[in-house]
Amino acid sequence: MGYLMDLRPPFFKGASTSRKSTHGALTALWQSAEMPEEALGYVDLPGADPVLPSSFSVGMAAQCSMAAAALAAGEIWHMRGGRRQRVSVDMRHAVQETRGYFTLDGVQQNAWDKITGVYRCGDGNWVRIHANFEHHRDGALALLGCPTGATVERRAVERALSRWSALEFEEAAAEAGLVVAALRTFDEWDRHPQGIAVSQLPLVSIERIGDAPERPLPRYGNDPRPLQDIRVLDLTRIIAGPVCGRTLAAYGADVMLMNSPELPNINAIAETSRGKLSVLADLETATGRITLGNLLRSAHVFVQGYRPGALESQGFGPEDVARLRPGIVYVSLSAYGHVGPWARRRGFDSLVQTASGFNHAEAQAAGQEAPRPMPVQILDYASGYLMAFGAQAALARQATEGGSWHVRVSLAQTARWLRSLPRVPNGFTCAMPQLDAYLEETSSGFGRLVAVRHAARFSATPAKWARPSVPPGTNPTVWPFS
């Protein structure tokens, strides 16, 4: 019902240079959300691909998606009484932020389990197993008939997969609730029922899902950042969803990360939780659901990364939340989109890359046989910035039109958009750039944190994370006083 952003790639073929294409991509995003045209004259996008070793425009994707989020923050600042300011996103800095690099007390962190990766199956095709969570690793090993536990070797997995075809193992793993993807070409993905379903979806959807009076944004106060006093509930894990919340926190929002005490996290939480409050609530219990309901009653944005349908079963689907908090902006992230046979399938950036053709295309461009991943988790990061963009565009519409709004983004939709951007000739001649110039050191609840500072630059309201990242459950389940 109501307004729906519709941006289906390819949408700007024929751009002659990377820089022109970046502006074209940003303009298409901005116009699709019916954001004010004047704001596009206040953005600077220096840099051009290649900035990382890839045949895809990963730099453009990072720069454009982040610039959309930052420019939306600048527009909200303007709506709150501030003068329009210049926003700049340097491409080289933006892609550094997508590398997810950080150290704690001088030690670089590694999230990858040794079993995670690609394997050739008995039919000659390949599968990718995601085993970074212990229960996913042990589930995949049990399905293969291998011993479970951290001591198992990759050779045992290779031998076991020699008795499977790639597609059969992918399907068996999905039925068991595991996370595996078979390698496909772009053509194969385009013919797949889920690829067809995703091709019918916009890049980002912003849909009115209920009536509510408009809630004008308050005039800005002492904190010179665009999202001051905007309250965001962040029910996400892993990368894309946390990046959305981290971005909104950089622009001044009070972001409360809500973790379940029963679900595992990856160590990247120390980096992606910068700027956030961090609380615990178990939605499987009445107490946890009451806690969430109480927090919702004064929230502006609700961000969640559960599989489609999961929160509905707890009473916190989009329409449920719109009834609890009329005027809410509800942001949903999924792996493969909210329609199609894979709508409820678990997935991560690396798996979507494999399933939707990117690993095959990168391998072809590099002249190698084995699947080749893109150099960063660009689907995760670009999706996170697009979520932040959609959330702010919906906030702006709510402030002027009223209503409750549902923003939807998926890794597969972002992947399709990335395909529409220009391929990069000789992209593999580019070396991985040095990180040193982009790092900052801060204290955190996890130790001394060194990580990449935010790449979006504002001429009047510098982005910053006012709160250090802290472990889950550090803060009480109440909003801070304004």
Q: What is the DSSP string of 82-109?
A: PPP--EEE-HHHHHHHTT--EEETTEE-
Q: Which residues of the chain have pLDDT under 70?
A: 1-20, 482
- Report pLDDT digits (tens) over 85-101: 999 999 999 999 999 99
In angstroms, rounded to a whole number, what is the distance separating the alpha carbons of residues 464 and 452?
12
Contact assessment for residue 218 and residue 434, using Cβ atoms and an 8 Å cutoff: no
Residue pair 155/163 in contact (Cβ under 8 Å)? The answer is no
- Contact present, 455 and 97 (Cβ < 8 Å): yes
Contact 368, 230 (CB under 8 A): no
CA-based nearest residue to 127, from 114, 139, 140: 140
Each residue's pLDDT tens digit, 261-315? 998 888 999 999 999 999 999 999 999 999 999 999 999 999 999 988 889 999 9
For position 263, what pLDDT does the model report?
A: 87
Structure tokens at 137: 């690793």
Q: How far is CA 361 from CA 94, 237, 348, 465, in A?
A: 24, 29, 18, 37
Q: Measuring CA to CA, how many Å separate 281 from each of 160, 251, 253, 473?
A: 40, 26, 21, 8
Strand partners, 407: 206, 331
CB neighbours of 91 closer than 8 A, spacing ≥ 6?
Answer: 22, 45, 46, 47, 48, 49, 51, 59, 60, 62, 63
Q: pLDDT per residue over 168-192, tens digit each?
A: 999 999 999 999 999 999 999 999 9
Q: Check the CA dihedral 158-160-165-171 and report its sign.
A: negative
Q: What does the DSSP 8-state code read for residue 299?
A: -
Q: Which CATH class is domain 22-109+195-341+374-458?
A: alpha beta
Cα–Cα distance measured from residue 29 to residue 81, given in angstroms and rounded to the nearest whole number = 24
368, two tokens? 């190698």
The token pair at 39 is 């704001």
Residue 253 token pair: 């929002």
Q: State the Cα–Cα distance between residues 156 and 478, nearest whole angstrom.
A: 49
How many angstroms separate the CA atoms of 356 and 76, rounded? 35
What is the pairing mode between strands 231-235 and 205-210?
unpaired
For the chain, the farthest-separated pair of C-alpha atoms sits apart, in whole angstroms, at: 65
List for the chain the helix, strand, coil content (%; round to 5): 40, 15, 45
Q: Tell me the whole-structure pTM to 2 decimals.
A: 0.95
| Cα distance between residue 152 and residue 50, in whole Å | 39
